[in-house]
Amino acid sequence: MELKQLEYFMAICEEMHFTKTADKLRIGQPTLSYQIKALEEELGIRLFDRLGKKIALTEAGKILLEHSQQIFNIIKSANDQLQELQKLNRGKLIIGALSGDLSHIASMALLEFHAMYPQIQLQFFVLDDVIEKIKQNELDLALTIMPKEDDGLNIIPLYEEEFCLVVHSEHLLANRNYLDLSQIEDIPFILNPRDHSFRKWFDDLCGNQGILIEPIIESSDIKSIVSLVKEGRGATILSRTLYNLEDNGSLRAIRIKPALQRKVTIIHHKEKHIGAAANIFKNLLNSYIEKYSRIDSLLNDLYK
């Protein structure tokens, strides 16, 4: 039984006339008659009684008509829901982000996304490891640092992020444009805990230069870290993007030589379809990056 045969059958039920139905469908009457006969033979029962030039539905025909209407109503409902999903009138988006500056950036993009598309259900997870969640298909997209090549991941590079020393605007170092990495060892730092992904990355960079950083305060909450720096309690290391997002005039970013940089990416499961909602979120994220990750031309000139 084919959907086309059921369409022809339902059209005949509306007209109760083969010739008129064939004209309406713009097909030949022999073709229409053949399809209905094939349907009857497949079902093993007559659907129409032929009464001279007139036809009438048999009891079997009435049953098939009822079910055919249900079938096409379900198809229409599915199509309507898919169209609504494509137009972002419904649906669900599950986003993950590496804890720290990336989660802060992602959350701001999600706030704007929700304002634009309030019908979309959002779930946002801040994690120390988003890769396994992506592999288990528990997230639609995740924002993270560049992972190793993996056959199960689709990796979309976003940008290369630079990290700076950030201090209060009245800090003793606030008038410096840059510092060597070796000059930061004795600064009172406010950083993430040692088991945090960013802290591990930063400690490894410092360790390679024989530098040991012992923070005076540790916190897993990036907002708390920034607030403490704004109060002049210590210094921290922030991405240029997050610095530009958080600076209200009370902060100062100092470049570090050699530059502290890492590549930021969006990842998703290689076999997962990325729908309209996820694509729009990616575009919003890119707009935030373009808006806030610009480095002052004066700082760029230091390396020329």
Does residue 106 contact residue 285 with C-beta atoms inside 8 Å? yes
Average pLDDT along the chain? 86
Single pTM value for the model: 0.58
Is the confidence at residue 22, as pLDDT, over 50?
A: yes
Answer whether CATH 3.10.20.30 is correct for domain 92-301: no
Residues 6+ apart with CB under 8 A from 153: 131, 134, 135, 147, 267, 268, 269, 270
Per-domain residue ranges for the chain?
3-86, 92-301
> What is the residue type of 253?
A
Over the stretch 39-96, which tens digit does the pLDDT of each residue have? 999 999 999 998 877 899 999 999 999 999 999 888 877 776 676 566 677 778 999 9
Rounded CA separation 97/105 (Å): 9
Note the pLDDT of residue 80: 62
With contact defined as beta carbons under 8 Å apart, do 197 and 100 qualify? Answer: yes
Question: Residue 164 has which token pair?
Answer: 């700076």
Question: What integer pLDDT is reported at residue 196 of this predicted model?
Answer: 83
pLDDT tens-digit profile of 202-240?
999 999 999 999 999 999 888 899 999 999 999 999 988
What residue type is assigned to position 103 of the chain?
Answer: S
**Check whether domain 3-86 has CATH 3.40.190.10, yes or no:** no
